[in-house]
Amino acid sequence: MSGAILVLSGPSGAGKSTIIDSASNRIGEYYFSISTTTREPREGEVHGVDYYFVSKEEFEEDIKAGQFLEYATVHSNYYGTSLKPVKEALEMGKLVIFDIDVQGHRLVRAKMGDLVTSAFITPPSLKELERRLYGRSTDKSYIIEQRIENAKEEIKAIGEFDFVIINDIIDRASLEFATIANASRLKLSKQELENLVVQWENGLS
């Protein structure tokens, strides 16, 4: 595999999608990994664009078949990442971007550690996160409260990530994201480093 993996995590409402969209013209060719989920689509979401929406039974069948790079249960629903498109993108040398939760980051890091760069994206404060979640009016109050409680747990894992982006001013956050994304392409895997040492010692180019 000659590509690289960039994992983005952070609470719902942190602005991860907005940052990616804003920086897309500065990070070169990439593949954005679309998650598969068992939750119901929100208004305006499209199957195959925002998520792959499947039944719980279908998801569990794919788990047994080993079809997921990672999967986790969030708010009583499954979320996971199919392996096939990720492998294809890496073999084409693309940067693969994941938008997954803290549990997912741990699983991806464990399986593909030396290909992974990670960043935790968060609003500047819990109060600002609450304002954004209630302001976008896409979820019921009890779901928002669940997301807020989940965010309080997620922030405790911030030290597990390579970088942190505070999404206060979107232009600045997008620039920081682009810098991290481009740097992640330069990261060499353990095998690539070993090959480099051999080439260096033998005078090969």
Tell me what pLDDT residue 205 has. Answer: 61
Tell me what pLDDT residue 189 has. Answer: 77
How does pLDDT run across 161-199, given as a tens digit for each residue? 999 999 999 999 999 999 999 999 988 878 888 888 999
Complete domains list, the chain, with CATH = 4-33+95-201 (3.40.50.300)
What mean pLDDT comes out for the span 109-120? 89
Is pLDDT of 114 > 90? no
Is pLDDT of 73 > 50? yes
Most confident option among 53-57, 106-110, 113-117: 53-57
- Count of C-beta atoms within a 10 Å radius of residue 44: 7
Helix 126-136 vs helix 141-154: crossing angle, to nearest 10: 150
Tell me what pLDDT residue 153 has. Answer: 93
- What pTM does this model have? 0.79
DSSP 49-62: TTBEE--HHHHHHH
Taking CA 102 as the corner, what is the angle to CA 96 and CA 107, rounded to the nearest 5 degrees?
65
Q: Do residues 167 and 9 lie in contact, with contact meaning Cβ atoms separated by under 8 Å?
A: no
Which of 119, 110, 118, 122 shows the shortest CA–CA distance to 153? 122
Secondary structure of residue 3 in the 3-state scheme: coil
> Confidence class of residue 1 from pLDDT cuts 50, 70 and 90?
very low
Secondary structure of residue 115 in the 3-state scheme: helix
- Cα gap 120→160, rounded to integer Å: 9
3/181: higher pLDDT: 181
